[in-house]
Chain A
């Protein structure tokens, strides 16, 4: 059909006899719609469920832990028993207690790093995409230079040079994310800047920053939402890796990444001290990825069963 198909959900008769339609809040923000559509998918529900369980462990774990995180409860590398349900670690501390205590840093650091990285990336990407031409080229080539470093190498470089401070780790991971986020944000922006409503705003003489905030940004929230999920999964991996390498929390603090490193020598004797933190990190990454995937599917409308595309 030549004329565009009416893709509206609600049907109104045309002409003056229009019934009173109340503004529905759900239209206000695009991502609310996206989230609702994503929630309809099983993968999203599983992802959110897993995420909440692990978040609860990280947040409330220290309250229910049977021992103190640095308390010695037995000999090193003991298999699970009635006193230590998951056995003991390389120094004879309770593995369960340390697992319950060790999630907070992963959560706080990866969430902060992702949020900061997203903010920087979106700003840069929208700026580049909307400026077009030379500014766009310059910004994107500069970001390419940052991207030329593998993410983990880039972070290691900074942390090794300036010391393993938590805020620095978060910032370094964020800076590593920024150019990648910027690419996606720029792509989404380019799709919108060509639309006539941007031109209409420009014709009014509206300031560029105002067009970016009020006209552009609300239209790119959905892909950014997905990107946030992907970046968060990546942050978790990177930050756990940094802890493993000894750049995160310093011993004797409890931390999943650090636990893997501390106990790896005894993995054959007492596998729980390594595998439980590994599984925690893995499940968290899977949970976040499932959510991101659900959101992405909701946006492109892969869900076939409803017949909506």
Chain B
């Protein structure tokens, strides 16, 4: 391996007020031309660690110790003036959201030129203009005057992010830090950006740190992977070694919760949640969620162990490394073929939906049989949510065509539908942070459907609520608790419970896992699979994430710009897609090879 560009030792970032550790004992190196993927779930401290490398912290946090050396320069000891030269020059940063990082009032050409001027790159304006053209070519954007005269809002999200990447590479830095730069992008755009980053790092020998929550993304991009849990690195190793035989129990469980396209294994969530800063135990922070915990795990946090190229912080790593990954994977059950023999419980025929006068759905058909899960898949703007909302009767615009529930046609607006129809179709929203009223207790949130649809006494209502909470594996005692006392996953379970108390025949899930961490997503998917099995409810599962479809649905409908591209059984469509759009979508979807051995 070539020379070391970045070396981090014992990095600690803490909260100024309480001294609680956000990150501690972070140690890794990156060589030139190498991409290191820093993977962690939300609140694991990955972004804080990444920005600390450029001595930037969010308000209230402070670097409390450790050593960051970029190309032989000790970054933490630099003066503010020297630091400014390093940022954007020696090392640069690509933030998560390009629409926030580009100045909306300046033309992109101006912003690119500014970077070069500030760092004294190039001897003359002509030379700098030449460099800008070169940069734009590197990120596959047109470098002509007209394009450079555009403002950020005149570019698409993917183009904006590529401009941000170009700015980061502008002064030929030695290190580039990318903080989830593809999060808001569609898979196709994401694929483009990832390819660009990888090529540029290779070509110019730049060391790259890629921060992400998405294991599938780093699986395709990174050379080595560092896994972060509760502010500490638990495992750092080469990509293949990590995916084929992770040494740390957390890495293994994380891998088991990532949906893959092959879908041979069921998703398995990780129960419990990571301890937040200030509440971290003296021992291993994963101990309370781990299957392999023994007394010494609770006593002390294990040191970095193992060979230099694959280090792990677990007392029992050698034992665990010898175990087959099979232990952490549960084979997926096959779909029940006997289901769906009867007619559809919900059907849509030639549905057209409008926003104002703009037609967003151009005559689409959909059929859902009882006990079956139909996945509606598409990128943003494909009309998948519009279709789901039209069926639920909450599309704000005009809807044409026929939507039937069983044997009768449904009214357009949910509020005009008879009670039985409103009860039959329940909708679960994307974000539990928005769908639960923060000022109402869980009991008050679950009560309205019961009050509306059933004539029950107080105690009967309470029994139903507790029953619903238990179905979503929550404790009945949570009735008096408010949403902000719960984690994201727990909130989404409450939202599911609210749909379940109505005893629906159709459950519409709109991207219900997209705001959740992978390990939580996996347990929600586990729960939904169980619900279909136990209650025989029909489900429409709206998602942009193809691998999820495999683990949950029997049938899939792929949508693009308001039309249905392809429809069929999941196995058929994913194995042998007929439409070119589906094939491209599959090719661009980052995937984890979860073949354990």
Contacts and interface: CB of A to CB of B under 8 A. Distances in A.
Contacts of A29: 439
B18 A307 contact: yes
Contact of B485 (A12, A13, A201, A306): A12
Contacts of B515: 3-4
B435 interface: yes
B54 interface: no
A199 B394 contact: yes
Interface in B408-453: 414-415, 417, 419, 422, 427, 429-431, 433-441, 445, 448-449, 452
B349 interface: no
Given A6-B488, A203-B393, A203-B422, A15 B271 contact: yes
Given A2-B213, A6-B488, A12-B487, A196 B435 contact: yes
Interface stretch (B242-250, B255-263, B472-480, B530-538): B472-480
Given A13-B273, A14-B490, A5 B439 contact: no
A22 interface: yes
B429 A1 contact: no
A206 interface: yes
Contacts of A20: 475, 477
A218 interface: yes
B396 to A, nearest CB: 10
Given A1-B46, A2-B180, A15 B484 contact: no
Interface of A: 1-18, 20-23, 27-30, 195-197, 199-206, 214-215, 218-219, 304-309
B24 interface: no
B555 interface: no
B279 interface: yes
Contact of B60 (A4, A17, A197, A307): A307
A15 B393 contact: no
Contacts of A23: 441, 479-482
Contact of A204 (B60, B452, B475, B489): B452
Contacts of B16: 307
Contacts of B271: 13-17
Contact of B435 (A15, A197, A214, A306): A197
Nearest to B470: A16
A11 to B, nearest CB: 6
B414 A202 contact: yes
Given A1-B180, A203-B392, A205-B419, A8 B435 contact: no
27 contacts: A1-B47, A1-B96, A2-B42, A4-B42, A4-B431, A6-B42, A8-B485, A8-B487, A10-B485, A11-B273, A11-B276, A12-B485, A14-B523, A15-B272, A18-B474, A20-B475, A23-B481, A197-B436, A200-B435, A203-B415, A203-B427, A204-B452, A205-B417, A205-B419, A205-B422, A307-B17, A308-B60
Contacts of A14: 271-273, 487, 489-490, 520, 523
B155 interface: no
B288 interface: yes
Contacts of B384: none
Given A12-B487, A219-B437, A2 B452 contact: no
Interface in B12-67: 15-18, 41-43, 46-47, 59-60
A8 B279 CA distance: 13
Chain B, interface residues (CB within 8 Å), range: 35 or more
A193 B25 CA distance: 45
A251 to B, nearest CB: 50
B367 interface: no
A18 B41 CA distance: 21
Contacts of A214: 440
Nearest to B214: A2
Contact of B486 (A8, A204, A215, A219): A8
A227 B253 CA distance: 50
B487 A6 contact: yes
Given A14-B487, A21-B477, A6 B43 contact: yes
B477 A18 contact: yes
A217 to B, nearest CB: 9
Contact of B480 (A3, A22, A196): A22
Contacts of A15: 271-272, 473, 523
B484 A27 contact: yes
Contacts of A199: 394, 429
User: Which of A21, A214, A219 has the most chain B CB atoms inside 10 A of its CB?
Assistant: A21
A259 B487 CA distance: 60
B46 A307 contact: no
A226 to B, nearest CB: 17
B168 interface: no
Contacts of A18: 474-475, 477-478
Contact of A3 (B18, B213, B438): B213
A280 B272 CA distance: 58
Query: Most chain-B CB neighbours within 10 Å: which of A11, A14, A15, A203?
Result: A14
B430 to A, nearest CB: 8
